[in-house]
Structure 1
Amino acid sequence: MDVLHDYLVRARASGAVFARSVARPPWGLTLPGSIQLSLHTVLRGHAWVWLDDPARAERLLPGDLAIIVGGQDHHIADEPDPGRCLTHEEFWTAGTGGDADDPQAAVFLCGAYRLAGDVGRSLIQALPPMLVIRPAAHDQVHDVVALISRELTHQAPGGQTVLDRLLDVLLVLVLRSSYQTSPTAPRWYHAAEDPRLNRALQAMHQHPEHAWTVPQLAQVSAMSRPAFARTFERALGQPPMRYLTDWRLTLAREYLLAGDLTIEQIAHRTGYSSPNAFAATFRRHIGLPPGRWRQQTTP
């Protein structure tokens, strides 16, 4: 188990919606910012993708992958020209005038998917608004995109499950690529590269119900207490006990939204001695009692 794995298990992608399009120039479409995470890749020809400024558009060639985080509308077209962009409903209703054998037509995939709960949102928020990956011919990202394309072209029973699982793999590869270089990467991602801190992070993630103390975590990390506390806070920007509280409350919110556990069970799983102790901590950090938070948050 590693920390990224723990986040991803709790934020599994689901409900993948893909469209494979063939479009002859001129063509373009606008996709709404309400889509939590969008994916675009070109199989043949080219496409331009941009957010609000066409002057900053990125050109996608076959195999390139663009990931767009929700929040604002974005555009994809054969040229960076907003005037030719239809809404996605208009685009797929009207047809695009091309076929798969037309050498002038672009063939591209558009995908949209969601991740569950606070954990999923935290992973997405650590990505830049638009990320373009240009993999080599036999890169893992390239191979996964090719599998998605084949699954869409040759539909078979269980196709949605296959797409969801391929999205899981693609998401891991995208997050790795982004987090390695992005200044917005979660601090725990780079902290986990230190084997000593990684052991402490894994201990907290694997056993959040344990009554951890700083000396115990220092022992797990094979460091002295002062050195561990100092190194942890420098790497993660917060003391170990605050990180542990934040992680426990993240898990608590996931359990509350799932609705399968009682408050007493959630308190036990997140390391609190009683429902009252859990509720007091939850209210102090979140601003509402657990039950009321669940009522206000659940659709």
Structure 2
Amino acid sequence: MESKSLTALVSAFSRAYHAEHNPVKIFDDRIARQLLTDEEYDSISANMSRAIAFFQPGFSGTQEQALRQVVDRQLSPTPLGRAAFAERALAAAAALGARQYLIFAAGYDTFAYRQPEWASQLDIFEIDHPVTAADKQARLSGMRMDPPPNLYFISADLREPDWQRHVLASPGFNPDRVSFCSLLGISYYLAKEEFRQLLSGIVSLLPAGSGIVFDYPDEQTFTPQAGERAQKQLMMVARAGEPMQAGYSCSELERMLEEMDLRIDQHLNPEEITKLLFHAYNESQPEHPIEAFDHVNYCLAVKR
């Protein structure tokens, strides 16, 4: 939380790689590559191609083939899938009247800079730790990319008990307007009580009809029943200094959301994610199929 997140940079790399190498895309982040320096991109590429020995022992092929295998199998399924899921849900929410989009722990999210025409009716708020927010804005400044007029930056440490005051102090934020919130890639790294408190804090900012989209690991993630990909992912992020901490059963998650007056509007498991979000890409690239990540579910919850 106090320095650039390695997992956030790798996530941006995976989105950039996918956008550059595929005519049919699961998610098209055409700006992600510009956020990374050439040195960062080349370094991540080299490290991940060498990591094939860890992720897939016995692999035989070129360095580029190894990189593609690691990206498609290990790195990109969740960043691509959850972003596609979130932005589809956002489009539907905007069509139904949502007028604020809050991106929590925004990291290197680029929606505000590639927003479609329908998003002009939204006020967009990127909420992130001051260090991460400053790093992203420095990168955008280096790209000479001016913030769009409907974008607001909010620096806030979401671990602080009163972080909501930073949102309420933003001149563009209206707590009475129906909003849509994304909280992607966060539940993994918080203890259960921390995640519950964060969700509760977000809900306190929203009127009825507002939505929250997030991804989360299931209850088998930290057990011997977890798939090989999941086990190796746990080891990888732990080595990066960002260990995962909690997983949830569907029933446990539903109870927690119910306590906050949230109902589950949409829920996808890995099989459903692959079928709904990855089908067109997989039809176009049968030699490089991508499957949704083991034990990772997506959820859209709406405040009653």
The structure with more radius of gyration: 1
Per the normalisation by structure 2, the TM-score is 0.28
